[in-house]
Amino acid sequence: MYLSLSFYIGSVKVLILRFVFLFIFSFCFVSNVFSEGRAVKQILKIEDLLPENKKWTISTGMHLSQRYSESSHSRMYSYENEDGENIPFSYFYKKKKTANSISGFTSIQYGLTSRLSPFISVGGSYDEIVSKVNEKEKVEYKHSLNIFTAGLNYQFNHVQPFVVLMSSYSKHDDFHSPSIGLISSWIYDPIVLSITSNYRYNYYSGNKPSQYSSDNLMIGASMAFAINPDVTLKWGVKNKFILTKNDRAKSYLKGPEVNLGLAMNINEITTLSTGVDFGVSNNNYYGYKINFSFNI
């Protein structure tokens, strides 16, 4: 039996207040509980992106989000009367769609060498989609619990900028998705500047037309500021560029977002990160995420 996500449905203002409250609560809670100034590793170190040689990193997290879209459509049709006349008519309708989602993942990464780290992850999501056509409401529930990903992370050098190559392959009942990306970081203690790029090719094998595929390029920029050796504030922007020829006319911009968050060393092996995401430029998206990483 599906659990309702009705608690997550609300107006845009209510959602903003919820996400801001969650972000402030997370910051205040972890700051008060864990701000003892312990001598643990600095989260600013770029090596934190990869586990140490012959060590493991286990990560798990949860993401809550809502997307809203509204569109108007006009359809033309004709009626032929008994005299053979074709009389045109127009039908207008307005469509609203709200998608509430809760998703989670667990991943394991191993430091094969000081620079090379293979990883695997499994994830899933549960979605509630509310559609309104001319104020007639329809509710759908979807879930997927079998998204598998395997990949490699490789650090190129030990001088600035620190560059990490990421490659992965994801599989689901409805799609296959290889990707490759780079994270380039410049460290100016207590500030880290990063540029991220990721190319992803999606091949759909489920309900999509036969051999349907799409590809996109994600580019983002971020800055992290260390309040102290254990707490780091982060903010950034990112955007997707549609590269598929058939979809290119729609828009090169696909989901531009602004991100605010924090990361914290809870103890010598545990790191917490949390934050909120806001869509911009007609992207009606809001999200909250929380992740834990364990270095063992």
pLDDT tens-digit profile of 182-240? 999 888 888 989 999 999 988 877 555 555 777 888 999 999 998 888 889 999 999 98
28 pLDDT higher than 60: no
Higher pLDDT residue, 181 or 39?
A: 181
* Tokens (6 digits) for 6: 């009705």
* Tokens (6 digits) for 250: 């729609």
Classify residue 160: in a domain, yes or no. Answer: yes
Residue for token pair 């809502």: 66
Average pLDDT over residues 164-181: 88
Q: Where residue 70 falls among pLDDT bands split at 50, 70, 90?
A: confident
**Cβ–Cβ < 8 Å for 130, 136:** no
Q: Where residue 82 falls among pLDDT bands split at 50, 70, 90?
A: low
Classify residue 234: in a domain, yes or no. Answer: yes
Residues 6+ apart with CB under 8 A from 59: 105, 106, 107, 109, 121, 291, 292, 293, 294
CB atoms within 10 A of CB 22: 17
Q: What is the pLDDT of residue 280?
A: 84
Query: CA 296, CA 217: separation in Å to the nearest integer?
Result: 33
pTM of the model: 0.73
* Tokens (6 digits) for 95: 């469509």
Q: What is the pLDDT of residue 84?
A: 63
Average pLDDT over residues 33-57: 57
Burial class (CB in 10 A: 0-12, 13-18, 19+), 197: middle
SS3 content of the chain, % helix, strand, coil (to 5): 10, 65, 25
16 pLDDT higher than 60: no
Q: What is the pLDDT of residue 48?
A: 60
Q: What is the pLDDT of residue 250?
A: 53
3 pLDDT higher than 80: no
How many structural domains does the chain have?
Answer: 1
Burial class (CB in 10 A: 0-12, 13-18, 19+), 266: middle
What's the domain range around 52? 6-295
Q: What is the pLDDT of residue 122?
A: 93
* Tokens (6 digits) for 133: 């056509």
Query: What average pLDDT is seen over the chain?
Result: 77
Classify residue 81: in a domain, yes or no. Answer: yes
Angle at 24 between CA 18 and CA 28, to 5 degrees: 145
Classify residue 127: in a domain, yes or no. Answer: yes
Give the percent of the chain with pLDDT over 90: 34
33 pLDDT higher than 50: no
Q: What is the pLDDT of residue 107?
A: 94
Classify residue 87: in a domain, yes or no. Answer: yes
Q: What is the pLDDT of residue 207?
A: 56
Classify residue 196: in a domain, yes or no. Answer: yes
Lowest mean pLDDT among 39-53, 119-133, 172-186, 214-228: 39-53
Q: Report the CATH number that the domain containing residue 228 is assigned in CATH.
A: 2.40.160.40
Q: What is the pLDDT of residues 157-167, one digit of tens each?
A: 766 788 889 99
Classify residue 1: in a domain, yes or no. Answer: no
Q: What is the pLDDT of residue 240?
A: 84
291 pLDDT higher than 90: yes
Q: What is the pLDDT of residue 123?
A: 92
